[in-house]
Amino acid sequence: MAGHTRPLRILLAKLGMDTHTVGVTVIAHALREAGMEVIFTGLKQTPAMVAAAAIQEDVDVVGISTLSAGHTRSLPQLAQLLREAGAGDKLLLAGGVIPEEDRPLLEQAGVDRIFTMGSDTREIVDYLNQWWSRQPGSPD
């Protein structure tokens, strides 16, 4: 497997009006500590804003933090927008308060992995590192 000559790029965003940042802050720091490039788009984002940023930045991963109940609408919308723009290959992660019963809907809509509130950041880092190591690197 060819190695990667650059760090993994991940976009972190908060969708909707929810402004709790503790979780996303902790994760941003942990990913940075793990050598990743974290692009933060700020609060109060719409799915369209996140999709536009993800495409311009051509990130490898899009991570969405949500703590209010709007995720059942906004996450599928985001996944749809990414696919429409030909960016469906990006890994789409969601984290925060997401009830178990919403999982099937979100997974079916294109969310690749859900990390619920209080997930160990090391688990997230491991998951991303493993995923990244399976992605084709650049030829030397």
Partner 1 sequence: MEVAAALVKGNVAAGARAMRWLDDRDPRGADVVSAVIGHTGGAHVVGLTGPPGAGKSTLASALIAEARRREHRVGVVAVDPSSPFTGGAILGDRVRMARHALDPDVFIRSVGTRGQAGGLSRSTHDTCLILDAMGYDLILVETVGVGQDEIEIVALAHTTVIVGLPGLGDEVQAVKAGLMEVGEIIVINKADREGLDHTLQHYETMLHLRASAQPDAPDAWTPPLLTAVATREEGTAAVVDAIEAHGRWLRANGEFAARSGRRARAQAMVLLRDRLSTLLDQHADPQVLAAVEARELDVYSAADALLAGLREALRRG
Partner 2 sequence: MHRKGSALRRASQRADTMSTEDHARAERGDQQRPSRPGEAAADATPPDDGIAAAAARWQAETRAPFVADNPERRDAFLTQALKWSVNPLYTPADLEAMGFDYLRDVGFPGEYPYTRGTGPNGHRSALWTMTQVTGFGKGEEWAKRARYMLDQGLSGLILEHDLPTTNGYDSDDPLVAGEVGRAGMALDSLEDLEQAFDLPFDKLQYLMSVCNAPQPVNLAMIIAALEKKGVDPRDFVLHIVNGILIEYTCVGRYIYPPEHGLKLATDCIEYIIRHHPNWAPISIIAAQLQPAKANPVQEIAFSLAIACAYIDATLERGFDIDTVAPYFHFVVNVDMDFFEGVCKLRAFRKCWARLMRERYGATNPAAMKIRMMTSPTTTALTLQQPLNNIGRLAIMATACALGGAGEHMTTPLHDEAHALPAEEAIRVGAALQHIVAHETGVADTIDPLAGSYYVEALTKQIEDAAFAEMDKVFEMGGALAAIRTGYFQRALGREQYERHRDIEEGRRKWVGVNHLTLEEEQREIEIFRLDEQVEEQQIARLRSLRERRDQAAVDAALDGVREAAAAGDNLLPACLVAVKAYATHGEICAAMRDVFGQYTPDSQLAGV
Closer by beta carbon to partner 1, 106 or else 128:
128
Burial environment of residue 99 by CB neighbours within 10 A (0 to 12, 13 to 18, 19 or more): exposed
Strand, coil or helix: what is 11?
A: strand
Q: Which residue matches tokens 């399976």?
A: 134
Query: Rule CB under 8 A: which of 71-100 touch partner 2?
Result: 72-74, 97, 99-100
Residue 39 near which of partner 1, partner 2, none (CB within 5-8 Å, type-dependent): partner 1
The β-bridge relationship of strands 37-40 and 91-96 is unpaired
CB of 69 to partner 2, least distance (A): 5
Name the β-bridge partners of 113. Answer: 93
Displacement of CA 31 from its chain's centroid (Å): 12
CB of 100 to partner 1, least distance (A): 31
Q: Which listed residue (4, 7, 34, 40) binds partner 2 by CB under 8 A?
A: 40
Closer by beta carbon to partner 1, 6 or else 134:
6
CA-nearest of 27, 106, 99 to 69 is 99
Give residues in contact with partner 2 (CB under 8 A). 16-22, 24-26, 28-30, 32-33, 40, 42-44, 46, 68-70, 72-74, 97, 99-101, 116-118, 120-122
